[in-house]
Amino acid sequence: MLDVADAPLLRLENVTVSALRDVSLVARPGRVTALTGPGTETALAVALGLVRPARGRVTLGGIPLEDLDPSARWTTVCWVPQLPVLLAATIAENIRLGWSASDAEVAAAAAAAGGLPPGLDTVVGEDGAGLTAGERQRIGLARAFLRDPAVVVLDEPADDDRFLDALRRLVPGRTVLMVAHRPSLLALADEVVAL
């Protein structure tokens, strides 16, 4: 199992897939690495291990991704997609999403993510029907606060003030990799990698 006492480096080394050629990058602990340009979605999929490169490798904490037990990988890495998967359930249940947590822990995660106006007991429709895009992404961010992972991967996060403030609170001590094209998001990055 991966020791994640300290946030690990996430490294892509000379990765080649159909949309990327010989891409290398290092996402460092306590820093935000932003990806911009064509191929960012593919780069995220490779970094998450959802797509295997035809050439090159991806390491997490120096360990090749394919050598990590998937449960260890997903405990270490939290993915906050642009449109998080939401079930027809309460907001609290959607934040937990299979994670064991008390109501107080869920409430703290929701507050850390910028709050969710309807309340944690509010039932939302399938795919988040009844929520704004920003509220949906804050549920995804609340999942990250609840899980407390060493690595957070964000796909084009919202750029409203509450989300950006929450993101700033999430970064310290973590390795953050995000796809960002808007200037307000790029301003949060310590490093911008143009693909």
CATH for 67: 3.40.50.300
* Number of domains the chain is built from: 1
Q: Is residue 154 part of a domain?
A: yes
Quick check: is 181 in a domain? yes
Per-residue pLDDT reduced to its tens digit, 88-136: 999 999 999 989 999 999 999 999 999 887 789 999 988 888 888 888 9
**This prediction's pTM:** 0.87
Contact 34, 193 (CB under 8 A): yes
Q: What is the pLDDT of residues 3-42, one digit of tens each?
A: 555 556 788 888 888 888 999 999 999 999 999 999 999 9
The one catalytic residue among 66, 126, 156, 191: 156
Q: Which domain holds residue 29?
A: 10-194
Number of other residues whose CB lies within 10 A of the CB of residue 50: 10
- The answer to whether residue 41 is catalytic is no
Question: Are 95 and 143 in contact, with CB atoms under 8 Å apart?
Answer: yes
